[in-house]
Amino acid sequence: MEQANPLRPDGESKGGVLAHLERLENQTSRSRKRSEAQAQERVLGTKIQKLRHLRDDPRAALWHRRGSVKACIANVEPNRTVEVNEQEALEEKLENVKAILQAYHFTGLSGKLTSRGVCVCINTAFEGNLLDSYFVDLVIQKPLRIHHHSVPVFIPLEEIAAKYLQTNIQHFLFSLCEYLNAYSGRKYQADRLQSDFAALLTGPLQRNPLCNLLSFTYKLDPGGQSFPFCARLLYKDLTATLPTDVTVTCQGGEALSTSWEEQRASHETLFCTKPLHQVFASFARREKLEMSLVS
């Protein structure tokens, strides 16, 4: 860069001087900025150090305390094997508690506290068979409400909740248990009929979602000459697993012999008093017995 020469002719020298002045100005502003930046850096540096202290001091204190606690424990129990035994004992206790919590399933009603309320689990059973489980997640607020659930849509959960949830939660849970257990029981009977005794049915089993209206035709001797029976089972009590109304009719042949009439009436009574699959089991046994007698 050419040095400013004051001996140059006028126009050039002004340019030279002004340029020089500009350079000097820039230099001073740069150095000022630099010193400002440095000062800021220093200030921030001290701030960072202060914050680090704020963070590290409690941390150090914590480590210190942990160390001293460990030392204390070590002093109190110098024996390592005793520590291990305690650990094992605690683990065993934990397993025990877990097992007890699992066993609660067999009581039919169990629950677990959640962050906003409780999640109730209803395990249904029928005749000693453990069937489906249903959950209801309750939010404990005023008013108490159901957040979500896995109860089938055709169980009148809303009705039961409207009646009891706000006033008597025990009643709500027991009522719901009743409905769900009864539904599970009816469903179990209908499923067993369809799967185990299909041979005795002459047509498909008609059922509805709640399994409270069942309609089917059956024969005592499949492939035989007898007329099939038509049965229609109504379960008007949704908390029961036995039907409230049973109608058995005989297809074909208006004039029924007395023996057929007796059979028909006895079937009606059977369906009213015993679970469906058990009635069919007795039919199947009877059939076997008769076959063995004939042959």
Which residues of the shown chain bind other proteins in the complex (CB under 8 A)?
Answer: 98, 101-102, 104, 110, 112, 114-116, 119, 121, 135, 137, 145-150, 153-154, 206, 208-210, 212-213, 215, 234, 236-238
- Rounded Cα distance between 219 and 229, Å, is 6
- Rounded Cα distance between 281 and 127, Å, is 15
Phi, psi of 193 (to 5 degrees): -60, -45
Q: Report, in Å, the least distance between residue 203 CB and other proteins.
A: 13
Task: Closer to other proteins by CB, 145 or 264: give it.
Answer: 145
Task: Closer to other proteins by CB, 154 or 285: give it.
Answer: 154
| Two tokens, residue 291 | 């076959």
Dump strand ranges (E) for the chain: 109-113, 117-126, 129-139, 145-149, 213-218, 229-234, 245-250
Task: Closer to other proteins by CB, 18 or 48: give it.
Answer: 48
Q: Report, in Å, the least distance between residue 115 CB and other proteins.
A: 7
Q: Which residues, other chains included, contact 166 with Cβ-Cβ below 8 Å and sequence gap of 6+?
A: 143, 144
Q: Report, in Å, the least distance between residue 192 CB and other proteins.
A: 20
Kindly compute the dihedral angle of the four CA atoms of residues 165, 171, 176, 177, in this order, to the nearest 10 degrees: 150
Task: Closer to other proteins by CB, 5 or 114: give it.
Answer: 114
For residues 153 and 141, the answer to whether their CB atoms sit within 8 Å is no
Q: Report, in Å, the least distance between residue 80 CB and other proteins.
A: 30
Q: Cα–Cα distances in Å, from 149 out to 20, 73, 115, 138, 251?
A: 84, 48, 16, 9, 44
Task: Closer to other proteins by CB, 137 or 178: give it.
Answer: 137
Q: Report, in Å, the least distance between residue 98 CB and other proteins.
A: 7
Q: Report, in Å, the least distance between residue 57 CB and other proteins.
A: 17
Phi, psi of 202 (to 5 degrees): -100, 0
Task: Closer to other proteins by CB, 33 or 52: give it.
Answer: 52
Q: Report, in Å, the least distance between residue 102 CB and other proteins.
A: 7
Task: Closer to other proteins by CB, 1 or 153: give it.
Answer: 153
Place of tokens 């677990």: 112
* Cross-strand bridge partners of residue 145: 139
For residues 121 and 137, the answer to whether their CB atoms sit within 8 Å is no
